[in-house]
């Protein structure tokens, strides 16, 4: 008997259907179908006929079915499926599971043996060369298996090739409610008996996490000659670790006339070989899982952070916690307008945006930051978690300057795909909660707190203030005190109360170092700072004089000059030095 599980758009439905031998069933949307798939409009009223024939389920697509039937990604009109296999119609997938309700061949085993590992170590193979040939292909089997089912198929075939006495091999496990489940099984002979794995054997081996052997028939080799249609009379189960949970190899067969050694000795050699494969599979799967985890983490963490986590991935360091962080928010200017202009080539635009995001994240990682979630055409990076460092605030500023430099180089090259992209960056420092979210296999990181909102607001204000990088007061002072002028410079712009916020702050521009080719010299920055001081003190006529000493291409003066001009170069009577943003910048 088989159980048919239904999945729609990747989600399992709360429906199960039973398939019994000798009772053909029809799958379709019509109410007359024994398996009514009325949730999927692409399933015809009568779509597939199913019948159980031994250890397989035979599928036949109905002539009137409008949509195709797929098995393993290929369109078929008929197929023979084993337990663990599935087929697809429309947006629904149907998976077959063999129901194992009784032991094979039908009663209590004559012997149940828990196999001692020390005993197995003393076992010698009489066909060692043949088994070694099989083992040499095992790493490639695991490496080249893209999905779990593909791995199961290859492992079962490998065991059948390496264990000459086995007539059937399955990969089994336990459901959350401790019911056995068969993921894949194969028989050596199509005309052989049906493989019905023992519930008792699987449960014993999985619960003990050790090799367990069942012998149902106590005949010796000389007392009975078994044929291909006879029932199985022995089986053993060997647990192993898989990426997706605990699994076990289930190997079964029939006693044969063998004068060279007893059945029990031969079985011990087969168990030793299976356990050896189980250990290799578990080890390689753990290595594969580690590589998958590290690959996922590389997009978020710089090499020094990964080094701190270690090869065993001490993910306790990634647990969410409150800490001081420096947050960098980087966005592409004018992206929405560009998306409208390039609506006929959105794929090309997406490729260029992906390249722009790669520039941002590569510089964040280069300077030891953590990349958080992407938000469309924007990237979020932060420093101070999972490892604290006094250099975190300065490293965030170094990353911002590097991003600005990379985009400046692109704009200077008429053939560069990013030649018409500009960035705006906001950086803020403060208290937040940072940490990981997700599963063991896939980790994402994020940061929560007002400092994130502030960094986003600073990034938005760069457009109004006509600068590339805005920073808060804390970072301004850090750069003044600790950053070499050869790395970067800073100038105070104004005191502002961002829209929707209760506290004002002084915002500053982060400026590249002075170079021989720089139009904005240190002398210009000194004049600008004097102009800002005059502006804050209400001496707007003096501020005007200093601001107009800036080079024409420097647009940071524009916003202050506009405010001064609107008031005829005189501060309002109630001037308190704070510029109140009328709306949230966009």
CA distance 328 to 451: 10
Q: Does residue 105 lie in a domain region?
A: no
Q: What is the pLDDT of residue 345?
A: 63
CATH number of the structural domain spanning residue 462? 3.30.70.1230
Q: Are residues 41 and 93 in the same domain?
A: yes
pLDDT digits (tens, 9 = 90+) for 418-476: 888 889 999 999 999 988 766 555 557 788 899 999 999 999 999 999 999 999 999 99
Q: Are residues 127 and 84 in the same domain?
A: no
CA distance 234 to 116: 18
pLDDT score of 478 more than 90: yes
User: Which range, of 122-136, 203-217, 349-363, 517-531, averages the lowest pLDDT?
Assistant: 122-136
Last residue of a domain, one of 232, 255, 290: 290
Q: Does residue 297 lie in a domain region?
A: no
pLDDT score of 264 more than 70: no
Q: Does residue 586 lie in a domain region?
A: no
CA distance 562 to 552: 15
Q: What is the pLDDT of residue 230?
A: 42
CATH number of the structural domain spanning residue 131? 3.30.450.40
Q: Are residues 418 and 499 in the same domain?
A: yes
User: Which range, of 72-81, 152-161, 213-222, 528-537, averages the lowest pLDDT?
Assistant: 213-222
Q: Are residues 152 and 238 in the same domain?
A: yes
Q: Does residue 296 lie in a domain region?
A: no
Q: Does residue 181 lie in a domain region?
A: yes
Residue 514 DSSP class: P
* Beta bridge pairs of residue 5: 16, 95
Mean pLDDT of the chain: 80
User: Which range, of 81-85, 167-171, 260-264, 340-344, averages the lowest pLDDT?
Assistant: 260-264
Last residue of a domain, one of 290, 323, 356: 290
**Lookup: tokens for 33:** 């179908």
pLDDT score of 404 more than 90: yes
Q: Are residues 150 and 79 in the same domain?
A: no
In this structure, the dihedral spanned by the alpha carbons of residues 381, 402, 473 and 531, taken in order and rounded to 10 degrees, is -150
CA distance 81 to 65: 20
Q: Are residues 180 and 152 in the same domain?
A: yes
Q: What is the pLDDT of residue 31?
A: 82
Q: Are residues 370 and 234 in the same domain?
A: no
Q: How many CA atoms lie within 13 A of 429 on its CB side?
A: 21
pLDDT score of 541 more than 90: yes
Q: Does residue 60 lie in a domain region?
A: yes
User: Of 331 and 314, which is predicted with more confidence?
Assistant: 331
CA distance 428 to 327: 5
Residue 355: pLDDT band (50, 70, 90) is confident
Q: Does residue 585 lie in a domain region?
A: no
CATH number of the structural domain spanning residue 55? 2.60.200.20
Residue 340: pLDDT band (50, 70, 90) is low
Last residue of a domain, one of 231, 256, 290: 290
Place of tokens 């240190």: 522
Q: What is the pLDDT of residue 143?
A: 64
Q: Does residue 248 lie in a domain region?
A: yes
User: Of 394 and 275, which is predicted with more confidence?
Assistant: 394
Tell me the backbone φ, ψ of residue 399, rounded to 5 degrees.
-65, -40
**Lookup: tokens for 113:** 């043996």
Residue 280: pLDDT band (50, 70, 90) is confident
Q: Are residues 465 and 562 in the same domain?
A: yes
pLDDT score of 222 more than 50: no
Q: What is the pLDDT of residue 57?
A: 92
CA distance 188 to 162: 12
Report the candidate in 200, 187, 193, 203 with the shortest Cα–Cα distance to residue 248.
Answer: 203
**Lookup: tokens for 18:** 């039973």
Tell me how many domains the chain contains.
3
Full domain range(s) for residue 396: 303-580
Place of tokens 């400026």: 511
pLDDT score of 108 more than 60: no
Mean pLDDT highest for which of 78-82, 120-124, 468-472? 468-472
CA distance 420 to 159: 59
Could you give the 3-state DSSP secondary structure of residue 59? strand
Give the mean model confidence (pLDDT) for residues 163-179: 81
pTM for the structure as a whole: 0.55
pLDDT score of 103 more than 90: no
Q: Are residues 161 and 308 in the same domain?
A: no
* Beta bridge pairs of residue 57: 52, 81
Q: Are residues 378 and 515 in the same domain?
A: yes
Give the mean model confidence (pLDDT) for residues 572-582: 90
pLDDT digits (tens, 9 = 90+) for 489-519: 999 999 999 877 888 999 999 999 998 888 8
Residue 575 DSSP class: -
Q: Which helix (H) or strand (E) holds 349?
A: helix 346-366
Q: Are residues 281 and 337 in the same domain?
A: no
Q: Are residues 254 and 189 in the same domain?
A: yes
CA distance 91 to 88: 7
């Amino acid at each position: 008997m088989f159980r048919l599980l239904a999945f729609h758009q990747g989600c399992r439905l709360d429906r199960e259907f039973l398939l019994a031998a000798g009772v053909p069933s029809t799958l379709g949307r019509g109410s007359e179908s024994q398996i009514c798939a009325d949730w999927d409009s692409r399933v015809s009223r009568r779509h597939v006929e199913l019948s159980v024939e031994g250890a397989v389920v035979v599928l036949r697509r109905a002539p009137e079915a409008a949509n195709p039937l797929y098995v393993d990604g290929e369109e078929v009109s008929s197929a023979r499926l084993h337990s663990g296999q599935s087929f697809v119609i429309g947006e629904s997938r149907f998976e077959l599971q063999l129901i194992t309700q009784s032991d094979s061949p039908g009663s209590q085993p004559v012997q149940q043996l828990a196999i001692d590992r020390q005993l197995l170590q003393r076992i010698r193979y009489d066909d060692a060369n043949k088994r070694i040939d099989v083992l040499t292909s095992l790493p490639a089997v695991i490496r080249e298996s893209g999905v779990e089912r593909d791995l199961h198929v290859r492992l079962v075939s490998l065991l059948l090739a390496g264990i000459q006495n086995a007539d059937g091999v399955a990969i089994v496990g336990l459901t959350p409610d401790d019911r056995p489940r068969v993921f894949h099984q194969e028989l050596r002979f199509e005309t052989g008996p049906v493989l019905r794995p023992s519930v008792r054997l699987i449960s014993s081996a999985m619960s003990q996490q050790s090799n367990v052997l069942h012998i149902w028939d106590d005949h010796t080799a000389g007392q009975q000659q078994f044929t291909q249609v006879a029932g199985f009379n022995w089986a053993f189960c060997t647990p192993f670790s898989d990426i997706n949970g605990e699994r076990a190899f289930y190997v079964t067969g029939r006693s044969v006339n063998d004068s060279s050694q007893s059945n029990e000795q031969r079985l011990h050699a087969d168990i030793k070989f299976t356990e050896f494969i189980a250990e290799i599979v578990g080890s390689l799967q753990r290595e594969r899982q580690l590589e998958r985890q590290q690959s996922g983490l590389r997009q978020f963490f710089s090499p020094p952070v990964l080094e701190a986590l270690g090869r065993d991935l001490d993910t306790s360091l990634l647990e969410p916690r409150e800490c001081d962080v420096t947050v960098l928010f980087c966005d592409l200017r004018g992206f929405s307008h560009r998306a409208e202009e390039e609506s006929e080539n959105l794929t090309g635009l997406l490729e260029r945006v992906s390249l722009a995001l790669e520039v941002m994240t590569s510089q964040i990682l280069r300077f030891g930051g953590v990349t958080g979630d992407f938000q469309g055409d924007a990237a979020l990076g932060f420093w101070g978690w999972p490892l604290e460092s006094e250099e975190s605030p300065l490293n965030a500023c170094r990353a911002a300057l590097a991003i600005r430099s990379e985009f400046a180089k692109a704009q200077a090259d008429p053939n560069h795909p990013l030649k018409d992209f500009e960035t705006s960056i906001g950086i803020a420092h403060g208290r937040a909660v940072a940490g990981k979210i997700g599963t063991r296999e896939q980790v994402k990181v994020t940061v929560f707190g007002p400092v994130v909102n502030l960094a986003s607001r600073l990034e938005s204000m760069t457009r109004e203030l006509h600068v590339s990088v805005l920073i808060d007061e804390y970072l301004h002072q850090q750069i003044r005190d600790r950053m070499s002028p050869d790395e970067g410079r800073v100038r105070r712009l104004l005191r502002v109360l961002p829209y929707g916020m209760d506290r004002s702050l002084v915002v500053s521009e982060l400026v590249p170092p002075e170079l021989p080719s720089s139009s904005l010299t240190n002398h210009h920055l000194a004049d600008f700072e004097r102009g800002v001081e005059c502006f804050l003190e209400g001496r707007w006529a003096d501020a005007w004089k200093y601001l107009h000493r800036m080079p024409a291409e420097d647009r940071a003066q524009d916003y202050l000059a506009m405010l001064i001009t609107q008031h005829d170069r005189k501060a309002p009577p109630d001037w308190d030095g704070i510029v109140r943003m009328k709306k949230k910048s966009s």
